[in-house]
Structure 1
Protein backbone atom coordinates (compact mmCIF):
# COMPACT_ATOMS: atom_id res chain seq x y z
CA UNK A 1 0.00 0.00 0.00
CA UNK A 2 2.82 2.33 0.85
CA UNK A 3 4.38 1.50 -2.52
CA UNK A 4 1.20 2.56 -4.35
CA UNK A 5 1.00 5.82 -2.44
CA UNK A 6 4.62 6.48 -3.25
CA UNK A 7 3.98 6.01 -6.98
CA UNK A 8 0.98 8.35 -6.96
CA UNK A 9 2.99 10.92 -5.01
CA UNK A 10 5.83 10.65 -7.50
CA UNK A 11 3.47 11.20 -10.46
CA UNK A 12 1.93 14.27 -8.83
CA UNK A 13 5.13 15.88 -7.60
CA UNK A 14 5.96 18.99 -9.58
CA UNK A 15 9.38 19.69 -10.98
CA UNK A 16 11.04 22.78 -12.35
CA UNK A 17 13.10 22.77 -15.53
CA UNK A 18 15.20 25.86 -15.87
CA UNK A 19 17.65 27.33 -18.37
CA UNK A 20 20.39 29.63 -17.01
CA UNK A 21 22.90 31.94 -18.62
CA UNK A 22 26.39 30.47 -18.38
CA UNK A 23 28.17 33.74 -17.63
CA UNK A 24 25.75 35.53 -15.32
CA UNK A 25 23.95 32.46 -13.98
CA UNK A 26 20.73 34.35 -14.56
CA UNK A 27 17.60 32.27 -15.11
CA UNK A 28 16.52 32.56 -18.75
CA UNK A 29 13.63 30.08 -19.06
CA UNK A 30 11.64 28.02 -16.59
CA UNK A 31 9.11 25.21 -17.08
CA UNK A 32 7.10 23.66 -14.28
CA UNK A 33 5.75 20.13 -14.85
CA UNK A 34 4.88 16.84 -13.22
CA UNK A 35 5.65 13.31 -14.34
CA UNK A 36 1.93 12.74 -15.03
CA UNK A 37 1.68 15.76 -17.34
CA UNK A 38 4.88 14.72 -19.10
CA UNK A 39 3.43 11.28 -19.80
CA UNK A 40 0.26 12.84 -21.25
CA UNK A 41 2.30 15.05 -23.58
CA UNK A 42 4.40 12.10 -24.80
CA UNK A 43 1.30 9.94 -25.42
CA UNK A 44 -0.39 12.81 -27.31
CA UNK A 45 2.66 13.35 -29.53
CA UNK A 46 2.83 9.64 -30.31
CA UNK A 47 -0.88 9.58 -31.24
CA UNK A 48 -0.46 12.58 -33.56
CA UNK A 49 2.62 11.02 -35.14
CA UNK A 50 0.92 7.65 -35.76
CA UNK A 51 -2.21 9.32 -37.18
CA UNK A 52 -0.15 11.50 -39.49
CA UNK A 53 1.88 8.56 -40.82
CA UNK A 54 -1.31 6.51 -41.38
CA UNK A 55 -3.01 9.31 -43.31
CA UNK A 56 0.16 9.83 -45.33
CA UNK A 57 0.13 6.20 -46.48
CA UNK A 58 -3.62 6.17 -47.15
CA UNK A 59 -3.88 9.31 -49.31
CA UNK A 60 -0.51 9.32 -51.09
CA UNK A 61 1.26 6.93 -53.49
CA UNK A 62 3.41 5.81 -50.56
CA UNK A 63 0.82 3.08 -49.90
CA UNK A 64 2.14 1.16 -52.94
CA UNK A 65 5.42 0.47 -51.08
CA UNK A 66 3.50 -1.57 -48.49
CA UNK A 67 4.20 -5.29 -49.10
CA UNK A 68 1.16 -6.97 -50.67
CA UNK A 69 -0.61 -3.75 -51.70
CA UNK A 70 -1.58 -3.90 -55.44
CA UNK A 71 -0.04 -1.30 -57.70
CA UNK A 72 -1.81 0.41 -60.63
CA UNK A 73 -0.95 -2.39 -63.09
CA UNK A 74 -2.20 -5.09 -60.72
CA UNK A 75 -5.47 -3.21 -60.12
CA UNK A 76 -6.00 -2.91 -63.90
CA UNK A 77 -5.53 -6.67 -64.31
CA UNK A 78 -7.97 -7.29 -61.45
CA UNK A 79 -10.55 -5.02 -63.11
CA UNK A 80 -10.22 -6.82 -66.47
CA UNK A 81 -10.59 -10.19 -64.77
CA UNK A 82 -13.72 -8.99 -62.95
CA UNK A 83 -15.28 -7.86 -66.25
CA UNK A 84 -14.44 -11.20 -67.87
CA UNK A 85 -15.97 -13.09 -64.96
CA UNK A 86 -19.14 -11.00 -65.25
CA UNK A 87 -19.39 -11.72 -68.98
CA UNK A 88 -18.89 -15.45 -68.39
CA UNK A 89 -21.62 -15.41 -65.76
CA UNK A 90 -24.08 -13.91 -68.27
CA UNK A 91 -23.18 -16.56 -70.87
CA UNK A 92 -23.70 -19.30 -68.29
CA UNK A 93 -27.14 -17.93 -67.42
CA UNK A 94 -28.13 -17.91 -71.11
CA UNK A 95 -27.01 -21.51 -71.46
CA UNK A 96 -29.08 -22.37 -68.38
CA UNK A 97 -32.15 -21.02 -70.18
CA UNK A 98 -31.33 -23.11 -73.24
CA UNK A 99 -30.64 -26.30 -71.25
CA UNK A 100 -33.73 -25.95 -69.06
CA UNK A 101 -36.04 -25.45 -72.03
CA UNK A 102 -34.38 -28.29 -73.95
CA UNK A 103 -35.03 -30.63 -71.02
CA UNK A 104 -38.64 -29.49 -70.86
CA UNK A 105 -39.12 -30.07 -74.58
CA UNK A 106 -37.69 -33.57 -74.31
CA UNK A 107 -40.04 -34.21 -71.38
CA UNK A 108 -43.00 -32.87 -73.41
CA UNK A 109 -43.49 -29.97 -71.00
CA UNK A 110 -44.16 -26.31 -71.63
CA UNK A 111 -40.98 -24.23 -71.92
CA UNK A 112 -40.38 -21.32 -69.61
CA UNK A 113 -39.72 -17.69 -70.48
CA UNK A 114 -36.21 -16.27 -69.95
CA UNK A 115 -37.60 -13.98 -67.24
CA UNK A 116 -38.55 -17.01 -65.13
CA UNK A 117 -34.95 -18.26 -65.08
CA UNK A 118 -32.60 -15.30 -65.51
CA UNK A 119 -32.01 -12.84 -62.67
CA UNK A 120 -34.09 -9.69 -63.13
CA UNK A 121 -31.00 -7.51 -63.46
CA UNK A 122 -29.80 -9.54 -66.45
CA UNK A 123 -32.94 -9.61 -68.57
CA UNK A 124 -31.74 -6.49 -70.34
CA UNK A 125 -28.54 -8.36 -71.30
CA UNK A 126 -30.32 -10.80 -73.59
CA UNK A 127 -29.08 -10.04 -77.11
CA UNK A 128 -31.56 -8.23 -79.27
CA UNK A 129 -31.30 -7.04 -82.85
CA UNK A 130 -31.64 -3.28 -83.05
CA UNK A 131 -34.83 -2.09 -84.71
CA UNK A 132 -33.42 1.10 -86.16
CA UNK A 133 -35.37 3.10 -88.72
CA UNK A 134 -38.57 1.55 -90.06
CA UNK A 135 -39.23 3.49 -93.21
CA UNK A 136 -36.85 3.32 -96.15
CA UNK A 137 -34.63 0.66 -94.59
CA UNK A 138 -37.63 -1.58 -93.87
CA UNK A 139 -38.78 -1.28 -97.45
CA UNK A 140 -35.34 -2.30 -98.71
CA UNK A 141 -35.26 -5.27 -96.35
CA UNK A 142 -38.70 -6.44 -97.44
CA UNK A 143 -37.72 -6.04 -101.10
CA UNK A 144 -34.55 -8.09 -100.50
CA UNK A 145 -36.56 -10.84 -98.81
CA UNK A 146 -39.08 -10.95 -101.67
CA UNK A 147 -36.29 -11.15 -104.27
CA UNK A 148 -34.66 -14.01 -102.39
CA UNK A 149 -37.97 -15.87 -102.23
CA UNK A 150 -38.59 -15.33 -105.94
CA UNK A 151 -35.09 -16.57 -106.76
CA UNK A 152 -35.68 -19.66 -104.64
CA UNK A 153 -39.00 -20.39 -106.39
CA UNK A 154 -37.49 -19.99 -109.85
CA UNK A 155 -34.20 -21.87 -109.28
CA UNK A 156 -35.43 -24.87 -107.30
CA UNK A 157 -37.40 -27.66 -108.93
CA UNK A 158 -39.58 -30.52 -107.57
CA UNK A 159 -38.01 -33.53 -105.93
CA UNK A 160 -39.25 -35.74 -103.15
CA UNK A 161 -38.62 -34.82 -99.55
CA UNK A 162 -36.63 -37.54 -97.82
CA UNK A 163 -38.04 -37.73 -94.28
CA UNK A 164 -35.95 -40.67 -93.06
CA UNK A 165 -33.79 -39.66 -90.12
CA UNK A 166 -35.39 -36.22 -89.70
CA UNK A 167 -36.72 -35.30 -86.28
CA UNK A 168 -38.54 -31.96 -86.06
CA UNK A 169 -38.59 -30.09 -82.79
CA UNK A 170 -41.80 -28.14 -82.17
CA UNK A 171 -40.92 -24.45 -82.67
CA UNK A 172 -43.08 -23.48 -79.69
CA UNK A 173 -45.59 -24.92 -77.25
CA UNK A 174 -49.01 -23.39 -77.59
CA UNK A 175 -52.46 -23.54 -79.13
CA UNK A 176 -52.91 -23.71 -82.93
CA UNK A 177 -55.23 -20.84 -83.86
CA UNK A 178 -54.93 -20.96 -87.68
CA UNK A 179 -53.96 -23.93 -89.81
CA UNK A 180 -52.27 -24.36 -93.16
CA UNK A 181 -54.71 -23.08 -95.82
CA UNK A 182 -53.26 -22.39 -99.31
CA UNK A 183 -56.74 -21.48 -100.59
CA UNK A 184 -56.56 -18.34 -98.44
CA UNK A 185 -52.83 -17.79 -99.12
CA UNK A 186 -52.01 -18.86 -95.55
CA UNK A 187 -48.96 -21.06 -96.05
CA UNK A 188 -48.25 -21.38 -92.36
CA UNK A 189 -49.56 -22.42 -88.97
CA UNK A 190 -50.27 -19.83 -86.28
CA UNK A 191 -49.58 -20.95 -82.71
CA UNK A 192 -50.75 -18.76 -79.83
CA UNK A 193 -48.34 -18.69 -76.89
CA UNK A 194 -47.83 -16.68 -73.68
CA UNK A 195 -45.88 -13.45 -73.78
CA UNK A 196 -42.10 -14.01 -73.64
CA UNK A 197 -42.39 -17.70 -74.60
CA UNK A 198 -39.20 -18.81 -76.33
CA UNK A 199 -38.98 -20.09 -79.92
CA UNK A 200 -36.86 -23.09 -80.97
CA UNK A 201 -35.20 -24.13 -84.22
CA UNK A 202 -37.00 -27.17 -85.67
CA UNK A 203 -33.85 -28.65 -87.27
CA UNK A 204 -30.12 -28.04 -87.52
CA UNK A 205 -29.32 -25.31 -90.00
CA UNK A 206 -27.91 -21.87 -90.77
CA UNK A 207 -29.66 -18.51 -90.41
CA UNK A 208 -29.93 -16.81 -93.81
CA UNK A 209 -32.33 -13.98 -92.89
CA UNK A 210 -32.91 -12.11 -89.62
CA UNK A 211 -34.48 -8.67 -89.62
CA UNK A 212 -37.44 -6.46 -88.74
CA UNK A 213 -40.44 -5.67 -90.95
CA UNK A 214 -43.47 -3.54 -90.24
CA UNK A 215 -45.87 -6.32 -91.26
CA UNK A 216 -44.41 -9.28 -89.33
CA UNK A 217 -42.14 -7.78 -86.66
CA UNK A 218 -38.86 -9.70 -86.35
CA UNK A 219 -38.48 -12.49 -88.93
CA UNK A 220 -36.00 -15.37 -88.70
CA UNK A 221 -35.34 -17.71 -91.62
CA UNK A 222 -33.24 -20.88 -91.28
CA UNK A 223 -31.88 -22.97 -94.15
CA UNK A 224 -31.74 -26.72 -93.37
CA UNK A 225 -30.48 -29.77 -95.21
CA UNK A 226 -32.61 -31.45 -97.90
CA UNK A 227 -33.54 -27.99 -99.22
CA UNK A 228 -35.83 -27.35 -96.24
CA UNK A 229 -36.51 -23.81 -95.08
CA UNK A 230 -38.22 -22.80 -91.82
CA UNK A 231 -39.55 -19.27 -91.22
CA UNK A 232 -40.53 -17.71 -87.87
CA UNK A 233 -42.55 -14.46 -87.88
CA UNK A 234 -44.00 -11.99 -85.34
CA UNK A 235 -41.02 -12.39 -82.99
CA UNK A 236 -40.34 -9.77 -80.32
CA UNK A 237 -36.63 -10.64 -80.05
CA UNK A 238 -34.09 -12.61 -82.08
CA UNK A 239 -31.13 -14.41 -80.50
CA UNK A 240 -29.44 -15.30 -83.80
CA UNK A 241 -28.09 -13.31 -86.75
CA UNK A 242 -27.40 -14.11 -90.39
CA UNK A 243 -24.67 -16.72 -90.74
CA UNK A 244 -25.17 -18.27 -87.30
CA UNK A 245 -25.35 -22.07 -87.16
CA UNK A 246 -28.21 -23.41 -85.02
CA UNK A 247 -29.04 -26.85 -83.70
CA UNK A 248 -32.44 -28.48 -83.41
CA UNK A 249 -34.13 -27.37 -80.20
CA UNK A 250 -31.88 -24.35 -79.62
CA UNK A 251 -33.51 -21.08 -78.57
CA UNK A 252 -33.61 -18.62 -81.48
CA UNK A 253 -36.09 -15.96 -80.39
CA UNK A 254 -39.03 -14.83 -78.25
CA UNK A 255 -42.67 -14.83 -79.32
CA UNK A 256 -44.32 -11.43 -79.75
CA UNK A 257 -47.26 -9.55 -81.14
CA UNK A 258 -45.36 -7.25 -83.46
CA UNK A 259 -46.29 -6.22 -86.97
CA UNK A 260 -49.44 -4.90 -88.59
CA UNK A 261 -50.60 -8.45 -89.42
CA UNK A 262 -50.42 -9.64 -85.83
CA UNK A 263 -53.61 -10.40 -83.90
CA UNK A 264 -51.97 -11.21 -80.55
CA UNK A 265 -49.01 -13.06 -79.10
CA UNK A 266 -48.38 -15.93 -81.50
CA UNK A 267 -45.83 -17.52 -83.81
CA UNK A 268 -46.44 -17.57 -87.57
CA UNK A 269 -44.47 -20.68 -88.63
CA UNK A 270 -43.78 -21.66 -92.24
CA UNK A 271 -42.04 -24.73 -93.66
CA UNK A 272 -40.81 -24.80 -97.28
CA UNK A 273 -39.16 -27.46 -99.45
CA UNK A 274 -37.55 -26.47 -102.73
CA UNK A 275 -39.75 -23.40 -103.07
CA UNK A 276 -42.98 -25.21 -102.22
CA UNK A 277 -44.90 -24.64 -98.99
CA UNK A 278 -45.42 -27.65 -96.72
CA UNK A 279 -48.04 -28.16 -94.07
CA UNK A 280 -46.01 -28.12 -90.82
CA UNK A 281 -48.70 -30.18 -89.08
CA UNK A 282 -47.78 -33.13 -91.34
CA UNK A 283 -44.31 -33.29 -89.80
CA UNK A 284 -44.56 -31.65 -86.38
CA UNK A 285 -46.82 -32.43 -83.45
CA UNK A 286 -48.07 -29.11 -82.07
Structure 2
Protein backbone atom coordinates (compact mmCIF):
# COMPACT_ATOMS: atom_id res chain seq x y z
CA UNK A 1 0.00 0.00 0.00
CA UNK A 2 1.38 3.42 -0.94
CA UNK A 3 1.90 6.23 1.52
CA UNK A 4 -0.80 8.34 -0.22
CA UNK A 5 -3.45 5.67 0.30
CA UNK A 6 -2.39 5.28 3.93
CA UNK A 7 -2.78 9.01 4.48
CA UNK A 8 -6.29 9.01 2.91
CA UNK A 9 -7.39 6.05 5.04
CA UNK A 10 -6.04 7.67 8.14
CA UNK A 11 -7.85 10.92 7.33
CA UNK A 12 -11.17 9.07 6.85
CA UNK A 13 -10.77 7.33 10.21
CA UNK A 14 -10.10 10.67 11.89
CA UNK A 15 -13.21 12.24 10.33
CA UNK A 16 -15.35 9.23 11.33
CA UNK A 17 -13.94 9.36 14.83
CA UNK A 18 -14.75 13.06 15.13
CA UNK A 19 -18.31 12.54 13.86
CA UNK A 20 -18.99 9.60 16.15
CA UNK A 21 -17.07 10.81 19.15
CA UNK A 22 -19.40 11.09 22.14
CA UNK A 23 -19.84 14.28 24.09
CA UNK A 24 -21.89 14.80 27.20
CA UNK A 25 -24.09 17.84 27.54
CA UNK A 26 -24.78 18.43 31.21
CA UNK A 27 -27.16 20.95 32.78
CA UNK A 28 -26.15 21.81 36.40
CA UNK A 29 -27.72 23.77 39.20
CA UNK A 30 -25.66 26.94 39.41
CA UNK A 31 -25.82 27.10 43.21
CA UNK A 32 -25.25 23.45 44.18
CA UNK A 33 -23.67 22.20 40.95
CA UNK A 34 -26.16 19.36 41.09
CA UNK A 35 -26.55 17.58 37.77
CA UNK A 36 -30.08 18.00 36.47
CA UNK A 37 -30.03 16.75 32.88
CA UNK A 38 -27.36 15.20 30.75
CA UNK A 39 -27.25 14.20 27.05
CA UNK A 40 -24.82 12.06 25.14
CA UNK A 41 -24.26 13.69 21.76
CA UNK A 42 -22.02 13.37 18.77
CA UNK A 43 -21.36 15.73 15.90
CA UNK A 44 -23.30 13.40 13.59
CA UNK A 45 -26.37 13.43 15.89
CA UNK A 46 -26.28 17.22 16.10
CA UNK A 47 -26.01 17.55 12.29
CA UNK A 48 -28.86 15.10 11.60
CA UNK A 49 -31.14 16.61 14.27
CA UNK A 50 -30.47 20.16 13.08
CA UNK A 51 -31.12 19.21 9.44
CA UNK A 52 -34.43 17.52 10.32
CA UNK A 53 -35.46 20.53 12.40
CA UNK A 54 -34.71 22.95 9.54
CA UNK A 55 -36.57 20.76 7.02
CA UNK A 56 -39.58 20.51 9.34
CA UNK A 57 -39.56 24.28 9.89
CA UNK A 58 -39.48 24.92 6.15
CA UNK A 59 -42.36 22.46 5.55
CA UNK A 60 -44.45 24.01 8.33
CA UNK A 61 -43.86 27.51 6.96
CA UNK A 62 -44.82 26.37 3.46
CA UNK A 63 -48.07 24.82 4.73
CA UNK A 64 -48.94 27.97 6.67
CA UNK A 65 -48.37 30.12 3.60
CA UNK A 66 -50.27 27.82 1.24
CA UNK A 67 -53.34 26.95 3.33
CA UNK A 68 -53.87 29.82 5.78
CA UNK A 69 -54.70 33.54 5.41
CA UNK A 70 -51.17 34.36 6.55
CA UNK A 71 -50.05 34.34 2.91
CA UNK A 72 -52.04 37.56 2.39
CA UNK A 73 -49.50 39.39 4.57
CA UNK A 74 -46.57 38.30 2.43
CA UNK A 75 -45.60 40.71 -0.36
CA UNK A 76 -46.34 39.24 -3.77
CA UNK A 77 -49.35 37.16 -2.72
CA UNK A 78 -52.83 38.48 -3.57
CA UNK A 79 -55.74 37.82 -1.23
CA UNK A 80 -58.62 35.50 -2.08
CA UNK A 81 -61.01 38.43 -1.91
CA UNK A 82 -58.97 40.38 -4.44
CA UNK A 83 -58.83 37.38 -6.77
CA UNK A 84 -62.62 36.99 -6.56
CA UNK A 85 -63.09 40.70 -7.23
CA UNK A 86 -60.74 40.49 -10.21
CA UNK A 87 -62.68 37.52 -11.62
CA UNK A 88 -66.02 39.31 -11.15
CA UNK A 89 -64.63 42.43 -12.82
CA UNK A 90 -63.42 40.32 -15.76
CA UNK A 91 -66.90 38.86 -16.26
CA UNK A 92 -68.48 42.30 -15.94
CA UNK A 93 -66.00 43.75 -18.43
CA UNK A 94 -66.80 41.03 -20.97
CA UNK A 95 -70.52 41.68 -20.46
CA UNK A 96 -70.06 45.44 -20.87
CA UNK A 97 -68.04 44.92 -24.05
CA UNK A 98 -70.82 42.73 -25.49
CA UNK A 99 -73.49 45.27 -24.50
CA UNK A 100 -71.40 48.07 -26.00
CA UNK A 101 -71.08 46.20 -29.30
CA UNK A 102 -74.84 45.56 -29.38
CA UNK A 103 -75.53 49.21 -28.55
CA UNK A 104 -73.17 50.40 -31.28
CA UNK A 105 -74.90 48.16 -33.82
CA UNK A 106 -78.27 49.45 -32.64
CA UNK A 107 -77.14 53.09 -32.90
CA UNK A 108 -75.69 52.42 -36.36
CA UNK A 109 -79.06 51.02 -37.46
CA UNK A 110 -80.82 54.14 -36.15
CA UNK A 111 -78.28 56.33 -37.96
CA UNK A 112 -78.91 54.46 -41.21
CA UNK A 113 -82.67 54.85 -40.73
CA UNK A 114 -82.40 58.60 -40.19
CA UNK A 115 -79.93 59.26 -43.00
CA UNK A 116 -81.13 56.63 -45.48
CA UNK A 117 -77.51 55.56 -45.91
CA UNK A 118 -77.65 51.87 -46.76
CA UNK A 119 -75.42 49.68 -48.87
CA UNK A 120 -77.38 47.46 -51.21
CA UNK A 121 -75.90 44.24 -52.56
CA UNK A 122 -77.06 42.66 -55.79
CA UNK A 123 -78.42 39.18 -55.32
CA UNK A 124 -78.48 36.52 -58.01
CA UNK A 125 -82.15 35.53 -57.81
CA UNK A 126 -81.79 32.89 -60.52
CA UNK A 127 -79.24 30.94 -58.49
CA UNK A 128 -81.54 31.04 -55.44
CA UNK A 129 -84.47 29.79 -57.47
CA UNK A 130 -82.37 26.95 -58.87
CA UNK A 131 -81.38 25.83 -55.37
CA UNK A 132 -84.95 25.64 -54.11
CA UNK A 133 -86.80 24.80 -57.32
CA UNK A 134 -88.93 21.66 -56.94
CA UNK A 135 -90.77 19.56 -59.48
CA UNK A 136 -94.49 19.71 -58.51
CA UNK A 137 -95.12 16.36 -60.18
CA UNK A 138 -92.77 14.67 -57.70
CA UNK A 139 -94.72 15.85 -54.64
CA UNK A 140 -97.91 14.29 -53.31
CA UNK A 141 -100.17 17.26 -52.53
CA UNK A 142 -103.22 15.23 -51.57
CA UNK A 143 -104.39 16.49 -48.12
CA UNK A 144 -104.52 13.85 -45.40
CA UNK A 145 -107.44 13.43 -43.01
CA UNK A 146 -105.63 15.07 -40.05
CA UNK A 147 -104.72 18.08 -42.21
CA UNK A 148 -108.33 18.59 -43.28
CA UNK A 149 -109.55 18.40 -39.69
CA UNK A 150 -106.92 20.92 -38.56
CA UNK A 151 -107.86 23.35 -41.35
CA UNK A 152 -111.55 23.13 -40.40
CA UNK A 153 -110.72 23.77 -36.73
CA UNK A 154 -108.55 26.81 -37.54
CA UNK A 155 -111.21 28.28 -39.83
CA UNK A 156 -113.83 27.90 -37.09
CA UNK A 157 -111.59 29.67 -34.53
CA UNK A 158 -110.80 32.51 -36.94
CA UNK A 159 -114.49 32.99 -37.62
CA UNK A 160 -115.06 34.17 -34.03
CA UNK A 161 -111.71 35.89 -33.46
CA UNK A 162 -111.53 38.52 -36.15
CA UNK A 163 -110.21 41.24 -33.83
CA UNK A 164 -108.10 39.29 -31.34
CA UNK A 165 -105.77 37.14 -33.38
CA UNK A 166 -102.38 36.08 -32.10
CA UNK A 167 -99.90 37.14 -34.72
CA UNK A 168 -96.37 35.89 -35.10
CA UNK A 169 -93.37 37.60 -36.64
CA UNK A 170 -94.05 35.77 -39.92
CA UNK A 171 -97.61 37.15 -40.20
CA UNK A 172 -97.49 40.46 -38.34
CA UNK A 173 -100.59 42.52 -39.21
CA UNK A 174 -99.69 46.19 -39.72
CA UNK A 175 -102.13 49.09 -39.44
CA UNK A 176 -102.04 51.74 -42.23
CA UNK A 177 -100.36 54.85 -40.78
CA UNK A 178 -102.35 57.20 -43.01
CA UNK A 179 -105.22 57.19 -45.47
CA UNK A 180 -104.14 59.07 -48.56
CA UNK A 181 -102.67 58.88 -52.04
CA UNK A 182 -99.34 57.12 -52.62
CA UNK A 183 -97.31 59.69 -54.52
CA UNK A 184 -93.96 57.92 -54.53
CA UNK A 185 -93.29 54.21 -54.07
CA UNK A 186 -90.36 52.20 -52.69
CA UNK A 187 -87.41 52.17 -55.10
CA UNK A 188 -84.08 50.86 -53.81
CA UNK A 189 -82.39 51.68 -57.12
CA UNK A 190 -83.09 55.39 -56.57
CA UNK A 191 -82.27 55.07 -52.86
CA UNK A 192 -85.86 55.85 -51.95
CA UNK A 193 -86.52 53.32 -49.21
CA UNK A 194 -90.00 54.53 -48.35
CA UNK A 195 -93.55 55.16 -49.45
CA UNK A 196 -94.70 58.79 -49.71
CA UNK A 197 -98.38 59.35 -48.88
CA UNK A 198 -99.96 62.73 -49.55
CA UNK A 199 -102.72 64.01 -47.27
CA UNK A 200 -104.05 67.36 -45.97
CA UNK A 201 -102.06 69.19 -43.33
CA UNK A 202 -102.57 68.03 -39.73
CA UNK A 203 -104.11 64.69 -40.77
CA UNK A 204 -103.46 62.22 -37.91
CA UNK A 205 -100.56 59.78 -38.41
CA UNK A 206 -101.02 56.46 -36.61
CA UNK A 207 -98.71 53.71 -35.36
CA UNK A 208 -98.69 50.64 -37.59
CA UNK A 209 -98.32 48.21 -34.66
CA UNK A 210 -97.68 48.00 -30.93
CA UNK A 211 -94.23 49.20 -29.98
CA UNK A 212 -91.94 51.64 -28.17
CA UNK A 213 -90.90 55.08 -29.39
CA UNK A 214 -87.09 55.09 -29.61
CA UNK A 215 -86.64 58.44 -31.38
CA UNK A 216 -88.86 61.51 -31.57
CA UNK A 217 -86.96 64.65 -32.55
CA UNK A 218 -86.50 67.36 -35.16
CA UNK A 219 -83.91 66.89 -37.93
CA UNK A 220 -82.91 69.53 -40.48
CA UNK A 221 -83.36 67.29 -43.53
CA UNK A 222 -86.54 65.37 -42.62
CA UNK A 223 -88.25 67.67 -40.10
CA UNK A 224 -90.11 66.03 -37.24
CA UNK A 225 -89.23 62.32 -37.19
CA UNK A 226 -90.54 59.52 -35.02
CA UNK A 227 -89.19 55.94 -34.88
CA UNK A 228 -91.08 53.06 -33.30
CA UNK A 229 -89.52 49.72 -32.41
CA UNK A 230 -91.82 46.70 -32.76
CA UNK A 231 -91.29 43.02 -32.00
CA UNK A 232 -89.30 40.68 -34.26
CA UNK A 233 -86.71 43.39 -35.06
CA UNK A 234 -89.17 45.62 -36.97
CA UNK A 235 -88.80 49.42 -37.07
CA UNK A 236 -91.33 51.87 -38.51
CA UNK A 237 -90.20 55.39 -39.47
CA UNK A 238 -92.39 58.48 -39.97
CA UNK A 239 -90.76 61.61 -41.44
CA UNK A 240 -91.74 65.20 -42.43
CA UNK A 241 -94.44 65.38 -39.71
CA UNK A 242 -95.99 68.70 -38.77
CA UNK A 243 -95.97 67.81 -35.07
CA UNK A 244 -95.30 64.84 -32.77
CA UNK A 245 -97.73 63.44 -30.19
CA UNK A 246 -95.31 61.03 -28.54
CA UNK A 247 -91.92 61.25 -26.87
CA UNK A 248 -88.97 58.89 -26.69
CA UNK A 249 -89.73 55.97 -24.39
CA UNK A 250 -93.52 56.10 -24.83
CA UNK A 251 -95.42 52.83 -25.37
CA UNK A 252 -97.85 53.01 -28.28
CA UNK A 253 -100.63 50.75 -29.50
CA UNK A 254 -101.55 49.81 -33.04
CA UNK A 255 -103.63 52.58 -34.63
CA UNK A 256 -102.78 55.15 -31.94
CA UNK A 257 -102.14 58.71 -33.15
CA UNK A 258 -98.44 59.55 -32.88
CA UNK A 259 -98.04 62.61 -35.13
CA UNK A 260 -99.72 64.78 -37.78
CA UNK A 261 -99.05 65.30 -41.46
CA UNK A 262 -96.76 68.24 -42.17
CA UNK A 263 -94.32 69.74 -44.58
CA UNK A 264 -91.19 70.02 -42.45
CA UNK A 265 -87.55 69.47 -43.40
CA UNK A 266 -85.35 70.41 -46.33
CA UNK A 267 -86.24 67.34 -48.44
CA UNK A 268 -90.03 67.80 -48.43
CA UNK A 269 -92.02 68.84 -51.51
CA UNK A 270 -95.43 69.32 -49.90
CA UNK A 271 -97.65 67.95 -47.14
CA UNK A 272 -97.05 64.20 -47.02
CA UNK A 273 -95.83 61.32 -44.87
CA UNK A 274 -92.52 59.66 -45.71
CA UNK A 275 -93.00 56.14 -44.27
CA UNK A 276 -90.28 53.49 -43.99
CA UNK A 277 -90.14 49.91 -42.67
CA UNK A 278 -86.92 48.28 -41.49
CA UNK A 279 -86.49 44.63 -40.57
CA UNK A 280 -83.31 43.56 -38.71
CA UNK A 281 -81.35 46.52 -40.10
CA UNK A 282 -82.53 46.21 -43.71
CA UNK A 283 -85.21 48.21 -45.52
CA UNK A 284 -88.34 46.48 -46.80
CA UNK A 285 -91.07 47.66 -49.11
CA UNK A 286 -94.04 48.87 -47.00
CA UNK A 287 -96.42 48.04 -49.87
CA UNK A 288 -95.65 44.34 -49.31
CA UNK A 289 -97.11 44.55 -45.77
CA UNK A 290 -99.65 47.38 -45.74
CA UNK A 291 -102.60 48.13 -47.99
CA UNK A 292 -102.66 51.91 -48.32
Please give the TM-score of this superposition, normalised by the length of structure 2.
0.44
Considering only CA atoms, is the larger Rg found in Structure 1 or Structure 2?
2
